A and B are shown apart, each in its own frame.
Chain A
Amino acid sequence: MDEKSQLQECLENGEFAITAEICPPRGTDVKNFLKKAELLKECIVAANVTDNQRAVMRLSSLAASTLLLRAGVEPVFQLTCRDRNRIAIQSDLLGASVLGIKNVLLLTGDHVSCGDHRGAKPVFDLDAIQLVHTANTLNSGVNLNGTALRGGTALHLGAVVSPDADPWEPEEIKFEKKIAAGATFFQSQAIYDMDKFKRFFEGVKRPGIKILGGILLLKSAKMAHFLNKNVPGVDVPPHLIEQLEGATDELEKGIEIASRQVRELKAFCDGAHIMAISQEVSVPKIIAGA
Chain B
Amino acid sequence: MIITKKKDPNDIIESLQGYKSVYLFGCNTCAEQCKTGGIEEIEQMTATLTENGFEVTGHSLVDETCYEQLARREVRKVPEIKESDSVLVLSCGAGVKTVADSVDETTPVLPALDSLYLASVERVGRFFEGCSLCGECVLTETAGICPHTECPKDMLNGPCGGVSGGKCEVLTENDCAWTRIHGRLKAQGRLDLMKKFRPLKDNSIKLNPRQTLLRGPGSEAHKDR
User: Which chain A residues lie closer than 8 Å to B182 at the CB level?
Assistant: 167, 169-170, 173
Q: In which size bucket is the chain A interface?
A: 35 or more
- Chain A: minimal CB distance from B51 (Å): 33
- Total of A-B residue pairs, C-beta within 8 Å: 102
Q: Which of A110, A134, A170, A180 contacts B159 (CB 8 A)?
A: A170
Q: Which of A110, A122, A176 contacts B162 (CB 8 A)?
A: A110
Given contact pairs A113-B152, A177-B157, A232-B161, A170 touches B195 in the complex (Cβ within 8 A): no
A144 at the binding interface (Cβ < 8 Å): yes
Judged by DSSP, the binding face of B is: loop
Bound-state CA distance A113–B174 (Å) is: 15
Bound-state CA distance A133–B157 (Å) is: 12
* A111 & B197 in contact (Cβ 8 Å cutoff): no
User: Which chain B residues lie closer than 8 Å to A170 at the CB level?
Assistant: 158-159, 163, 178-179, 182, 194
A86 at the binding interface (Cβ < 8 Å): yes
User: Which chain A residues lie closer than 8 Å to B66 at the CB level?
Assistant: none
* B153 & A127 in contact (Cβ 8 Å cutoff): yes
Bound-state CA distance A1–B150 (Å) is: 42
Among B165, B166, B179: residue with most chain A CB under 10 A: B179
B188 at the binding interface (Cβ < 8 Å): no
- Chain A: minimal CB distance from B47 (Å): 34
User: Which chain B residues lie closer than 8 Å to A167 at the CB level?
Assistant: 163, 166, 179, 182
User: Which chain B residues lie closer than 8 Å to A134 at the CB level?
Assistant: 200
* A129 & B161 in contact (Cβ 8 Å cutoff): no
- Chain A: minimal CB distance from B14 (Å): 21
Bound-state CA distance A160–B195 (Å) is: 18
A33 at the binding interface (Cβ < 8 Å): no
Bound-state CA distance A111–B163 (Å) is: 12
Q: Which of A108, A166, A169, A176 contacts B160 (CB 8 A)?
A: A108
* A165 & B157 in contact (Cβ 8 Å cutoff): no
B10 at the binding interface (Cβ < 8 Å): no
* B161 & A162 in contact (Cβ 8 Å cutoff): yes
Bound-state CA distance A125–B199 (Å) is: 11
B106 at the binding interface (Cβ < 8 Å): no
B110 at the binding interface (Cβ < 8 Å): no
Q: Which of B153, B179, B203 contacts A111 (CB 8 A)?
A: B153
User: Which chain A residues lie closer than 8 Å to B197 at the CB level?
Assistant: 129, 133, 177, 180-181
A184 at the binding interface (Cβ < 8 Å): no
- A-B pairs with beta carbons under 8 Å apart, 22 shown: A108-B153, A108-B155, A114-B169, A114-B170, A122-B153, A125-B200, A129-B158, A129-B197, A130-B156, A160-B161, A162-B161, A165-B159, A166-B164, A167-B182, A169-B186, A170-B159, A170-B163, A173-B182, A173-B191, A173-B194, A174-B158, A177-B158
